[in-house]
Structure 1
Amino acid sequence: MEIIHISYPLSKTESGEGNKQLSMAIGHFDGVHRGHQDVIARAVTAGKERGLTPAVLTFSPHPKEVLGHGQHYFSCLTPPRVKMEQFAKLGVEIVYIMKFDREFAALPPKSFVDCVLEPLGARHAVVGFDFTFGSKGAGKAETLMELCSPSITVNIVEPFHLENQKVSSTRVREALGQGDLEVVNMLLGRPYEVCGVVVHGDKRGRTIGFPTANLELDGSYVQPRLGVYAITARVDGEQYGGVLNFGMKPTFNAGEIKPVMEAHLFDFSREIYDQSMSIQFRHFIRAERKFSSAAELIAQIALDRDTAEAWLDQHLQ
């Protein structure tokens, strides 16, 4: 899959002749959830049917971050690397990542079509029902259809529903904050995942019989609810089951500190400091709480480990 970073106005190379003719899904697609997958899959299918190259036009950073419409968008459900992986799995062959800045945000809707979509070679566009574009969001999905006719056909995709509720990034974020992993992973169509590097911690885990890997995240992810989770982790291409605590470690710490992700992997004893690791959140076990003694904490960790093992054994066979 080819990834091309562009900015407005397009350079002569980006808008030059000879560009491939594209079936293009357009959107930010944070989360690449089931609704986003539906939009992208339709662009891929249309491309195959019409002899067009399946493509995505997405934006970075999130428009709401640039325009100041919501601080929580400084964190993301899928960092760029994960987003690209999901696009590739869906059959996308070209991804254009448009730099979203105030100059691009001020573009009139017609100029978006004439100066971006047409030069890139779009011949078919697929957008969600709530797609907006152009200065102050003046362009809607129906506007895009009108402005693109007749040179670019447009498919407007209706809301994607699961269990009679609309799938949305907002709903994924809310469910993460509640620790409702079953809903999160259903909406995403895959486990919620974070990635990072294993760093040195206080090494207290090994002194109480539960050595942990402390993960320093490689991006600004949406934080799940503080607490204990059944997880899987990937290290050096191998998957391991485990139990993870995401929290402030209130039994040992006092004062204002940032939450830490500590993963205890089952049947694992290697040193992996400075190595990459990804965590897939599978099931929320309990909220974080403070214990009266280290002995009480150790007993609870043993129960959490058993709970995680039992859940993983039952659900990941």
Structure 2
Amino acid sequence: MGEAFSSNPELVSSEFVSIEYKLSENIPSRDTVLAVGTFDGVHQGHQSLFKLLKEEAESRNLLPNVVTFRNHPREILTPGMNLNYISSLEDRIKLIRGQQIDLITVLDFTRQLSCIKARDFCRLLVRDLRMKGLVVGPDFALGHNREGDIKTLEGIGQEMGFSIKVIEPKLHGEQPIRSRLLRKIISEGGVETASKMLGRPFKLCGVVCKGAGRGASLGFPTANLAIESQLLVPGDGVYATWITVNGQKYKSATSIGTRPTFDSGQRSIESYIMDFECDIYDTTVSLEFMVRIRDELYFEHHEDLIRQMQDDVEQATVILEGNVGCSNVGS
């Protein structure tokens, strides 16, 4: 779970109380098989792990249970790091439930938690979550200084009465699918590759807010999205996207960037929604990113920008009309 921090017994003791209380709120009705991790994005690798988790639980008449962290351990273990998440905690929980797993325990990863030894953490999982099995990836480790690697956990499991099941990594080409790799790909604009690794289009949720009105003045009124600061945003450029408004999907072309033609400097997310004229200010919407059409460009004349925007909308329309039913991309 974590790398080394100098252990303070008082802090660790108080953290034990906090974890015990949290786990005691989620005592299952019968023994369980667990998966433990952040699971940011719930990508194809995570989905394979959850599939094995369910199979293992079913074969032993146990309950599948996921323990996930509200925040990523690296944010605590690497001071000053601000991680951008592929999915919010709310979406992550929905995605895990979408894997037919109903038991989910959410823990805050703290500096004190990183100091708890693997044996002690396992003892809590056995006692409070009735763990009889643990399903992990090949590089999994938990406990202070990552002392609880697979070999160590197998020994602890023999003592405490739980098994360890290790799954091989899910590959995209020759690369293991990992959340860290996905963040890099998405931040560089590679939404098509990301869709294949996620098993669905990359999605971003936000609230429509007031913009400068420049899009409307150019004949392309846009919905400006305000998103949570910790969420990952694709790299600057123009994308073919599906936007969901009040449960209805519409074709859209989305621009991400600093609007260099207007000297804005402030990064924004703006979506032109096709065949749509409603007032949706303060409405929560979601964007599914299908294809990156082009880089963000500077235009010396507004007329050139308007011609390019017309071309962007035409390209987005062609792309999206070929991607109806897009929520199954990469499956």
**TM exceeding 0.5:** yes
Structure 1 stretch displaced more, 147-156 or 245-254: 147-156
1:167 equivalent among 177, 185, 195: 177
Question: Any idea what the Cα deviations from partners look like across 1:29-62, whole Å, max 9, x if unmatched?
Answer: 1111110111112112222222212210111211
Given the superposition, is the C-alpha separation of residues 117 and 29 from structure 1 closer, same or farther in structure 2, using an over 3 Å criterion? farther
Aligned to 2:5: none
Matched to 1:115, the amino acid is L
Cα deviation for residue 15 of structure 1 reads 7.8
Aligned to 1:290: 298
Given the superposition, is the C-alpha separation of residues 304 and 13 from structure 1 closer, same or farther in structure 2, using an over 3 Å criterion? closer
Given the superposition, is the C-alpha separation of residues 117 and 261 from structure 1 closer, same or farther in structure 2, using an over 3 Å criterion? farther
Given the superposition, is the C-alpha separation of residues 147 and 283 from structure 1 closer, same or farther in structure 2, using an over 3 Å criterion? same
Alignment of 1:121-140 (within 5 A): 121-140=130-149
Residue 207 of structure 2: SS of its match in structure 1?
Answer: strand
2:190 equivalent among 180, 187, 207: 180
Aligned to 1:197: 207
Matched, 1:115 2:124: yes
C-alpha distance in structure 2 between counterparts of 1:291 and 1:16, whole Å: 57
C-alpha distance in structure 2 between counterparts of 1:145 and 1:246, whole Å: 47
Cα deviation for residue 173 of structure 1 reads 1.5
C-alpha distance in structure 2 between counterparts of 1:200 and 1:230, whole Å: 22
Whether contact under 8 Å (1:7, 1:98) holds in the other structure is no
Matched to 1:291, the amino acid is F
C-alpha distance in structure 2 between counterparts of 1:224 and 1:66, whole Å: 24
Whether contact under 8 Å (2:154, 2:163) holds in the other structure is yes
Q: In angstroms, what is the RMSD of aligned CA positions?
A: 2.0
Residue 230 of structure 1: SS of its match in structure 2?
Answer: strand
1:45 equivalent among 48, 52, 55: 55
Given the superposition, is the C-alpha separation of residues 168 and 115 from structure 1 closer, same or farther in structure 2, using an over 3 Å criterion? same
Given the superposition, is the C-alpha separation of residues 16 and 94 from structure 1 closer, same or farther in structure 2, using an over 3 Å criterion? closer
2:248 equivalent among 238, 243, 248: 238
1:62 equivalent among 68, 72, 80: 72
Whether contact under 8 Å (2:23, 2:105) holds in the other structure is no
Whether contact under 8 Å (2:213, 2:221) holds in the other structure is yes
Aligned to 1:273: 281
C-alpha distance in structure 2 between counterparts of 1:17 and 1:222, whole Å: 33
C-alpha distance in structure 2 between counterparts of 1:226 and 1:118, whole Å: 48
Structure 1 stretch displaced more, 123-132 or 87-96: 123-132
The runs of 5 or more residues in structure 2 that have no matched partner are 1-15, 326-331
Residue 224 of structure 1: SS of its match in structure 2?
Answer: coil
Cα deviation for residue 192 of structure 1 reads 0.6
Matched, 1:143 2:143: no
Aligned to 2:108: 99
Residue 180 of structure 2: SS of its match in structure 1?
Answer: helix
Whether contact under 8 Å (2:31, 2:130) holds in the other structure is yes
Cα deviation for residue 145 of structure 1 reads 2.1
Question: Any idea what the Cα deviations from partners look like across 1:283-311, whole Å, max 9, x if unmatched?
Answer: 00011011011111100000000011111
C-alpha distance in structure 2 between counterparts of 1:163 and 1:178, whole Å: 19
Aligned to 1:156: 166
1:226 equivalent among 214, 232, 236: 236
Residue 260 of structure 2: SS of its match in structure 1?
Answer: coil
Matched to 2:51, the amino acid is A
Aligned to 2:10: none
The normalised TM-score by structure 2 is: 0.88
C-alpha distance in structure 1 between counterparts of 2:98 and 2:207, whole Å: 24
Matched to 1:214, the amino acid is N
Whether contact under 8 Å (2:225, 2:270) holds in the other structure is yes
Whether contact under 8 Å (1:53, 1:93) holds in the other structure is no
Question: Any idea what the Cα deviations from partners look like across 1:254-309, whole Å, max 9, x if unmatched?
Answer: 5xx33100001111110000011001111000110110111111000000000111
The normalised TM-score by structure 1 is: 0.92
Matched to 2:176, the amino acid is K
C-alpha distance in structure 1 between counterparts of 2:245 and 2:22, whole Å: 43
Given the superposition, is the C-alpha separation of residues 290 and 18 from structure 1 closer, same or farther in structure 2, using an over 3 Å criterion? closer
Structure 1 stretch displaced more, 15-24 or 301-310: 15-24
- The runs of at least 4 aligned residues of structure 1 exceeding 4 Å deviation read 15-19
Which structure carries more strand by proportion?
Answer: 1
Whether contact under 8 Å (1:10, 1:116) holds in the other structure is no
Count how many residue pairs are aligned between Structure 1 and Structure 2: 309
Question: Any idea what the Cα deviations from partners look like across 1:187-238, whole Å, max 9, x if unmatched?
Answer: 1111111101000101111121111000001351122110100000111111
The runs of 5 or more residues in structure 1 that have no matched partner are 1-5
Whether contact under 8 Å (1:197, 1:218) holds in the other structure is no
Given the superposition, is the C-alpha separation of residues 65 and 12 from structure 1 closer, same or farther in structure 2, using an over 3 Å criterion? closer
Residue 133 of structure 1: SS of its match in structure 2?
Answer: coil
Matched to 1:268, the amino acid is F
Structure 1 stretch displaced more, 143-152 or 238-247: 143-152
